Amino acid sequence: MTDVCSTSREPARTDLGKVSARSIPFAVYAFGAGIFAMTTSEFMVAGLMPELAAAFGVSTARIGYLISIYSGGMVVGGPVLTMLLLRIERRRALLLMTTAFVLGQVMAASASSYSAMAVGRFVTGASSAAFFAVSIAAAADMAGAEARGRAASVVLAGLMLSTVLGVPIVTILGQDLDWRTSFWIVAALVALCAGVVAATTPLLPHTEGIDLKGELRALANGRLWAAYATSGLIIAATFAAFSYFSPIFIDVSGFDAALVPYLFGIYGMATVLGNIVVGRFADRHAIPILLTGLSVLTATLVLLALLAHLQVAAVILTVVLGLVGVTMNPAMVVRVMHAANPRPLVNAVHGAVISLGVLVGSWSGGLAIGVGLGYLAPVWIGAALGLIGLLSLAPAKARRF
């Protein structure tokens, strides 16, 4: 799940070449590939809940907390690592973060206890947040002001594709082979993506003109925090339900466990389509997209909570959830860019807020299940969070760029 680009005080470098405002450099697609691999790791727990619960001898709710722990790494580690990386050339920073991610993923793949798995998840979450922040900033710079929304949608497409391809594939592998195999494959994929980033990313500007005080001053902006709040609520609403799709599909809708990866794939295809559409219009229509998307998201979650026991309804509503929710990311990015002079730390904090949304959604859903409210309780929680998100756009100042 972030945003924006570097400060305008950074000097232009000839290494970047002359990039038209409407073009998307190939390196941006390499960033998207890295996000695809990392986001697959973030979400794969949702598809492997039964296997992980059996392996570590814990409840489904505690496995759900592994998603929260990953997000906690993004919330805490993302901004800290981004500040540490401010003065490092961006291509090198991206490679440092992919290396850290691989180490964390290896730790998770070889974990012999729930605690060891949790540590690995925290490390991967922190490094992926920093990679996300730097890659979005670099993509926005390389694409130019008129195509920032499109560049963001390309990078964010990695997130969407992880649900249509990554999560279903690792879920099938985890069911047919072993959950560790799935984790090792993702580690190898991130290592491969690091090589692609190294080979395709041009030398990006240094950030010697950036000072920490200037970065912190950029955060002193009420409209920026209003935008952050809406972003966090959108993601929290979505992930309260998404984190527990697997037990909902099996225990409430009555689907066979073997069909779960394909249901995740259907959801993922809807997110890819939604991301393409939103990315195309986000630069000019961010606020209408957020208003419409939040309205549809909230209504769909209510209907899912009421109709999840009907398999046809569950599938249709899952598709609608894929079309909204996380697909509003490009609009969220553009709104933040209009609310503040875009800087790397603004980008990292937005990423942390989005990750906090994942943490709040998955944690609150797991808490509700843990106290015996059932597998549909997270869906109701998501609907409530969606309504609050919609209300956050009600004030006129919140709707202004």
Give residue 302's pLDDT. 95
Sign of the CA dihedral running 384, 356, 173, 160: positive
5's CB contacts (< 8 A; 6+ apart) are: 136, 137, 138, 139, 140, 141, 148, 337, 342, 347
Question: Of the given ranges (309-323, 344-358, 370-384), which has the lowest mean pLDDT?
Answer: 344-358
Task: Give the tokens for residue 336.
Answer: 């933040």
Residue 206 is classified by DSSP as P
The CA distance from 335 to 225, in Å, is 11
Closest CA to 345 of 230, 208, 216: 216
The whole-number average pLDDT for the span 24-50 is 82
* Whole-number percent of the chain with pLDDT over 90: 17
Show Cβ contacts of residue 36 under 8 Å, excluding neighbours closer than 6 positions. 157, 158, 159, 161, 162, 165, 166, 193
DSSP string, 156-192: HHHHHHIIIIIHHHHHHHHHHT-HHHHHHHHHHHHHH
Alpha helix (H) ranges present in 113-147?
A: 114-143
Q: Say which range, 57-71, 154-168, 174-188, 287-301, has the weakest mean pLDDT.
A: 154-168
- What span, in angstroms and rounded, lies between the C-alpha atoms of 87 and 10? 11
Backbone angles phi, psi at 182, to 5 degrees: -60, -45
23 φ/ψ sector (left φ>0, alpha ψ -120 to 50, else beta): beta
Please give the pLDDT value at position 14.
Answer: 37
Give the model confidence (pLDDT) of 49-77 as tens digits: 888 888 888 887 788 788 878 878 887 77
Would you list the domain boundaries of the chain? 23-399
| pLDDT digit string, tens, across residues 218-260 | 666 677 788 888 888 998 999 888 888 888 998 888 888 888 8
Which CATH architecture best describes the domain 23-399? Up-down Bundle (1.20)
Encoded amino acid at 27, one letter: A
Is the dihedral angle over the CA atoms 200, 205, 206, 207 positive or is it negative?
negative
Residue type, 342: P
The b/e string for 91-124 (b: 16+ C-beta within 10 A; e otherwise) is bebbbbbbebbbebbbbbbebeebeebbbbbbbb
Given a contact cutoff of 8 angstroms between Cβ atoms, the answer to whether 169 and 161 are in contact is no
Task: Check if the beta carbon of residue 329 is closer than 8 Å to that of residue 230.
Answer: no
Answer yes or no: is pLDDT of 132 > 70: yes
